[in-house]
């Protein structure tokens, strides 16, 4: 989901493991993990999705998780780490990662520096896990070739934001005396104004939401009047 670039590094940071170092693996061939991550807003509500396949193409696992308010790139790394964790836990010791994040792929290959303080610990954790594998490869593809992982990432974001996924076929909503509302009750969120911008102190608001802003004191006075 995320496409970004950093200046290329003159000296690679991590080797790309591409050949097995021993024959102790419980799986004879390579597993492939299609990973994706994204956020709605940057940062914003974020999640990742992972599709893991055996060498014959059979599906071993589908992973997805909502990770809170994060950036696109943190979500991309989170998806790769989830794939690495699964591979190590299930003794899939030769792993190929397929991702549509050019930034992450080139950082893992050592072609880009890891300059972000948010990404550096994730990068370090990833290289530690990669070093435990017998073989490792990572490949960049366009999003169209990473469709299922993208779907899983969006499902995680939908669930985390307590939104129902969009229906495949839209119909006219039924309105009548027996209709029930599924709208989430509106509640105030606290924030603080800095340099003309409002930073939330709790919760999150989906990007594009129209809001009404009211000072906390005025909100309290209004609530008191309604109770009285």
pLDDT for 157-202, tens place per residue? 999 998 655 544 444 344 343 433 333 334 566 666 766 667 665 5
Backbone angles phi, psi at 72, to 5 degrees: -55, -45
* CA neighbor of 34 nearest in space, from 147, 179, 119, 114: 147
User: Which residues, listed in sequence order, are joined to residue 34 by a DSSP beta bridge?
Assistant: 51, 98
Least confident of 57-61, 78-82, 218-222: 218-222
> In whole angstroms, how large is the CA radius of gyration of the chain?
22
Q: What is the pTM of this model?
A: 0.63
pLDDT at position 22: 40
Neighbours of 177 (CB within 10 A): 4
* Averaged pLDDT of the chain: 77
pLDDT at position 3: 33
Tokens representing residue 112 in the block? 């880009």
Backbone angles phi, psi at 46, to 5 degrees: -130, 155
29-60: per-residue pLDDT in tens?
A: 899 999 999 999 999 999 999 999 999 999 99
Q: Between residues 104 and 15, which one has the greater pLDDT?
A: 104
CA-CA distance, 153 to 82, in Å (whole number)?
Answer: 12
The domain 31-160 having CATH identifier 3.30.420.10: the answer here is yes
The segment(s) of the chain belonging to CATH 3.30.420.10 are 31-160
DSSP H helix total and E strand total for the chain: 5, 7
Beta strand 44-53 pairing with 59-70: antiparallel
Query: Residue 66: helix, strand or coil by DSSP?
Result: strand
Q: Which residues contact 116 (CB under 8 A, 6 or more apart)?
A: 73
99 pLDDT more than 60: yes
* CA neighbor of 123 nearest in space, from 133, 114, 112: 114
List C-alpha distances in Å: 74 to 4, 101, 191. 12, 11, 24
Task: Please compute the mean of the pLDDT values over residues 132-153 and round it to a whole number.
Answer: 96
């Amino acid at each position: 989901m995320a496409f970004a670039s950093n200046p290329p590094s003159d000296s690679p940071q991590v080797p790309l493991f591409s050949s097995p170092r021993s024959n102790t693996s419980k799986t004879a061939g390579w597993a492939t993990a299609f990973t994706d991550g994204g956020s709605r807003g940057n940062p914003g509500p974020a999640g990742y999705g992972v599709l893991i396949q055996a060498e014959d193409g059979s599906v071993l696992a589908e992973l997805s998780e909502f990770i809170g308010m994060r950036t696109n790139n943190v979500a991309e790394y989170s998806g790769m780490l989830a794939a690495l964790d699964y591979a190590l836990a299930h003794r899939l010791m030769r792993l190929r990662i397929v991702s549509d994040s050019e930034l992450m792929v080139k950082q893992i290959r050592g072609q880009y520096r890891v300059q972000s303080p948010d990404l550096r610990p994730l990068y370090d954790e990833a290289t530690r896990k990669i070093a435990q594998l017998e073989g490792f490869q990572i490949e960049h593809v366009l999003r169209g070739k990473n469709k299922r992982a993208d779907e899983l990432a969006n499902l995680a974001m939908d669930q985390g934001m307590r939104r129902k996924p969009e229906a495949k076929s839209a119909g006219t909503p039924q309105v009548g005396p027996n209709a029930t509302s599924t709208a989430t009750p509106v509640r105030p969120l606290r924030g603080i104004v800095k340099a003309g911008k409002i930073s939330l102190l709790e919760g999150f608001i989906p990007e594009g939401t129209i809001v009404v802003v009211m000072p906390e004191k005025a909100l309290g006075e209004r609530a008191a009047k309604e109770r009285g």
